[in-house]
């Protein structure tokens, strides 16, 4: 599992729009960089990111080589109910990493 | 006399060393102040700062049992938040074992070999950088304070001489840019004063975390001067001088730089 | 926010790019041996067309927030936001970002919905050179809206050697 940092307010009011910030460790090798011999280093990137709120998908992103190394993604959601926010990153060479965070909504 | 004229005069008259007048504390500026607002925001935000990924790894390694002694850093040093507070702010420090200054990465390796009975971590490796970032972060905000240790004086002098002496194909000294011309532009980028307040740091150019030695090698490459191998005493002497030159400035570890 | 409102002075390079684009659209071959940007401008337009199809691309509602001057193209802070009530009946379905001169035109595509609350996404992107970045929003009513921004990319002075 790759190292990731998630920032979600631990508590929120029902109906409040909250910001979710995510950061994950990944080189995001573009596939366009040449190595010492001039050959292109093969692409190795995170291609997809999904965020689910109590199992329901609330945000999805398709990433391309133009996303910087150690991808940072920040987005919003409406705090509906207490529960779990889950995050899944998948990518080239079978890359897969998941994280989850609890949120308390009153 | 204008700054440009002064520099020309220095170039014409001074064969060897330049004036290298130390920047007074009130005028000392971290590289942070020469960055764009957006890059500064990246450094300040704990979730956006990519270096924090290494800090988290460092926290894990701190507690991992290593070597034939089967000890973790925590076994001797406990909670890093207390035991490592202020440590990075006073490195490089004198090591009796080495009869000279060592930087933080070397100090970690001394612990690994002598206390944990483990192999030293390769310089610039992910684990060593993560530990240095984690330990360094415990000094964030504290003023850099290099002890005035008589044993260190010859090494400090060596570092000073390297900083002020001309070298490389361009026959430039570090001081010419970083003491005499900081704030001016070089190829579109502002020349900072060159204070190592935030190492190891995430350099956008590297797309990863790197040490001060790595950055110094980039400088030497830019000057078309010989780059010493990693771990060379020349780097530690220069690091010692740079940290001494930055004394009083707050630690920013782990920083972000372009 | 920091975004270039004034167009850049018309340099020869820009003229060639635009001329090639017009020529390309008119179906005329325009050999530009010294201008590699023309190829990726066409591929950016193709990538946008894949999303938008033949529908009109309106300007407005979506806004790019990116610094006008970048110190290093490896990690450019980038935010794109849309005005939208984000209700079941009226929301942003997706946002797509493209670049003009990167080796590949796509940057990111995000799927949103009423649960997003706010149609705003921030990330860090790579920009290979000074160029234009385009963002397209796809609304729940099927309409498309776009914004673009010009970004100047400089490089740090002392780079990695070997």
Query: Does C4 reside within a domain?
Result: no
Give the pLDDT confidence score for residue B88 in this predicted structure: 97
What burial class does residue C4 get, using C-beta atoms within 10 Å of its C-beta: 0-12 exposed, 13-18 middle, 19+ buried? Answer: middle
Give the pLDDT confidence score for residue B189 in this predicted structure: 82
Give the pLDDT confidence score for residue C8 in this predicted structure: 41
Give the pLDDT confidence score for residue B5 in this predicted structure: 44
- Give the DSSP H/E element, type plus range, for residue C19: helix C12-25
Query: Does C159 reside within a domain?
Result: no
pTM for the predicted model, two decimal places: 0.86
Query: Does C2 reside within a domain?
Result: no
Q: Verify whether the Cβ–Cβ distance A65 to C112 is below 8 Å.
A: no
Query: Does B165 reside within a domain?
Result: yes
Query: Does C1 reside within a domain?
Result: no
DSSP state of C23: H
Higher pLDDT, C160 or C62: C62
Query: Does B19 reside within a domain?
Result: no
Q: Which of B73, B76, B177, B219 is catalytic?
A: B219
Per-domain residue ranges of chain A: 4-105
Q: For chain B, 258 residues long, give each residue's pLDDT as a single digit of tens.
A: 455 544 443 343 333 334 446 788 889 999 999 999 999 999 999 999 999 999 999 999 999 999 999 999 999 999 999 999 999 999 999 999 899 999 999 999 999 999 999 999 999 999 999 999 999 999 999 999 998 899 999 999 999 999 999 999 999 999 999 999 999 998 778 899 999 999 999 999 999 999 999 999 999 998 899 899 999 999 999 999 999 999 999 999 999 999
Q: What is the DSSP string of chain B?
A: --HHHHHHHHHHH-SS----PPPPGGG---GGGGS-HHHHHHHH-TTT-THHHHHHHHHHHHTS-BTTTTB-HHHHH--HHHHTTTTGGG-SEEETTTTEEE-HHHHHHHHHHHTS--PPPPTT-HHHHHHHHHHHHTTTTSBP-----GGGHHHHHHHHHHHHS-BTTTTB-HHHHHTTSTTSEETTEE------TT-SEEETTTTEEE-HHHHHHHHHHHTT-PPPPTT-HHHHHHHHHHHHHTTTSBP--S-EE-
| Average pLDDT value for residue range A44-53 | 98
- Residue B15 distance to chain C (closest CA, Å): 25
pLDDT band at residue C160 under the 50/70/90 scheme: low
A23 CB neighbours in chain B (<8 A) are: 47-48, 50, 52-53
B126 interface with A at CB cutoff 8 Å: no
ipTM for the whole complex: 0.95
Query: Does C53 reside within a domain?
Result: yes
* Contact of C157 with B186, CB cutoff 8 Å: yes
Give the pLDDT confidence score for residue C157 in this predicted structure: 58
The CATH fold assigned to A4-105 is Immunoglobulin-like (2.60.40)
Question: Is B219 annotated in the active site?
Answer: yes
C76 CB neighbours in chain A (<8 A) are: 68
Q: Verify whether the Cβ–Cβ distance B222 to C77 is below 8 Å.
A: no
Distance CA B105, CA C78 (A): 34
Does residue C60 register a pLDDT over 70?
A: yes
- Please tell me the total count of domains within chain C: 1
pLDDT digits (tens, 9 = 90+) for C130-156: 999 999 999 999 999 999 999 998 876
Does residue C1 register a pLDDT over 90?
A: no
Query: Does C24 reside within a domain?
Result: yes
- Please tell me the total count of domains within chain B: 1
Query: Does B198 reside within a domain?
Result: yes
Does residue C32 register a pLDDT over 90?
A: no
Does residue C10 register a pLDDT over 70?
A: no
C60 token code pair = 């407005």
Q: Verify whether the Cβ–Cβ distance C156 to B189 is below 8 Å.
A: yes
Give the pLDDT confidence score for residue C159 in this predicted structure: 63
Q: Which domain holds residue C124?
A: 12-153
Which CATH number belongs to the domain containing residue C117 in this structure?
2.60.40.2470
Q: Verify whether the Cβ–Cβ distance C71 to B217 is below 8 Å.
A: no
A80 CB neighbours in chain C (<8 A) are: 115
Of B46, B47, B207, the CB nearest to A69: B207
B239 Cβ contact list (under 8 Å, min separation 6): B92, B103, B159, B196, B212, B213, B216
Give the pLDDT confidence score for residue C41 in this predicted structure: 84
Higher pLDDT, B20 or C63: C63
C159 interface with B at CB cutoff 8 Å: yes
Which CATH number belongs to the domain containing residue B176 in this structure?
1.10.760.10
Distance CA B241, CA B244 (A): 5
Tell me the three state secondary structure of residue C132: strand
Distance CA B21, CA A21 (A): 45
Average pLDDT over chain C reads: 80
Higher pLDDT, A23 or B10: A23
Higher pLDDT, B126 or C5: B126
pLDDT digits (tens, 9 = 90+) for A84-98: 999 999 999 999 999
Residue of A nearest to C100 (CA): A66
């Amino acid at each position: 599992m790759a190292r990731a940092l998630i920032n979600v307010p631990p508590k929120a009011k029902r109906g409040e729009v909250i910001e979710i910030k995510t950061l994950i460790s990944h080189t995001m090798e573009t596939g366009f960089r040449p190595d010492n011999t001039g050959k292109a280093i093969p692409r190795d990137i995170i291609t997809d990111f999904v965020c689910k709120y109590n199992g329901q998908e609330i945000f999805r992103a398709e990433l391309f080589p133009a996303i910087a190394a150690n991808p940072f993604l920040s987005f919003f959601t409406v705090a509906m109910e207490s529960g779990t926010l889950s995050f899944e990153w998948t990518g080239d060479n079978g890359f897969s990493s998941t994280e989850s965070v609890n949120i308390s909504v009153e | 006399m204008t700054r440009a004229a002064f520099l020309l005069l220095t170039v014409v008259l001074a064969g060897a060393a330049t004036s290298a007048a130390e920047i007074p504390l009130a005028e000392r500026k971290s590289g942070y102040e020469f960055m764009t607002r957006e890059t500064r925001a990246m450094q300040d935000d704990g979730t956006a700062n990519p270096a924090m990924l290494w800090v988290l790894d460092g926290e894990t390694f701190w507690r991992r049992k290593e070597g034939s002694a089967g000890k973790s850093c925590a076994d001797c040093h406990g909670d890093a938040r207390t035991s490592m507070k202020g440590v990075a702010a006073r490195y490089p420090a004198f090591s009796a074992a080495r009869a000279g200054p060592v930087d933080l990465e070397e100090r970690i390796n001394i612990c690994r070999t002598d206390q944990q009975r483990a192999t030293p971590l390769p310089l610039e490796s992910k684990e060593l950088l993560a530990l240095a970032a984690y330990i360094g972060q415990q000094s964030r905000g504290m003023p850099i304070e290099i002890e005035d240790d008589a044993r260190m004086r010859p090494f400090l002098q060596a570092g000073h001489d390297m900083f002020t002496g001309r070298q490389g194909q361009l026959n430039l000294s570090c001081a010419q840019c970083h003491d005499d011309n900081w704030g001016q532009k070089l190829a579109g980028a502002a020349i900072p004063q060159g204070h190592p307040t935030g190492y190891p740091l995430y350099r956008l150019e590297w797309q990863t975390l790197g040490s001060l030695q790595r950055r110094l090698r980039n400088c030497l490459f830019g000057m078309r001067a010989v780059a010493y191998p990693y771990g060379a005493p020349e780097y530690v002497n220069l690091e010692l001088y740079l940290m001494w030159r930055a004394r009083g400035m707050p630690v920013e570890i782990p920083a972000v730089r372009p | 926010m920091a975004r270039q409102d004034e167009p850049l002075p018309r340099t020869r390079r820009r003229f060639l790019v635009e001329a090639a684009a017009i020529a390309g659209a008119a179906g005329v071959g325009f050999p530009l041996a010294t201008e590699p940007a023309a190829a990726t401008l066409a591929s950016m337009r193709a990538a946008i067309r894949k999303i938008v199809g033949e529908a009109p691309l309106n300007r407005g509602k979506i806004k790019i927030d990116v610094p006008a001057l970048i110190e290093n193209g490896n990690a450019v802070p980038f935010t794109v936001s849309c005005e939208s009530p984000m209700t079941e009946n009226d929301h942003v379905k997706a946002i797509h970002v493209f670049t003009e001169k990167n080796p590949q035109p796509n940057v990111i595509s995000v799927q949103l919905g009423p649960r997003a609350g706010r149609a705003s996404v921030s990330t860090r992107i790579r920009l290979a050179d000074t160029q234009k970045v385009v963002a397209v929003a796809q609304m729940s009513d099927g309409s498309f809206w776009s914004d673009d921004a010009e970004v100047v990319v400089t490089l740090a002075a002392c780079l990695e050697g070997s």
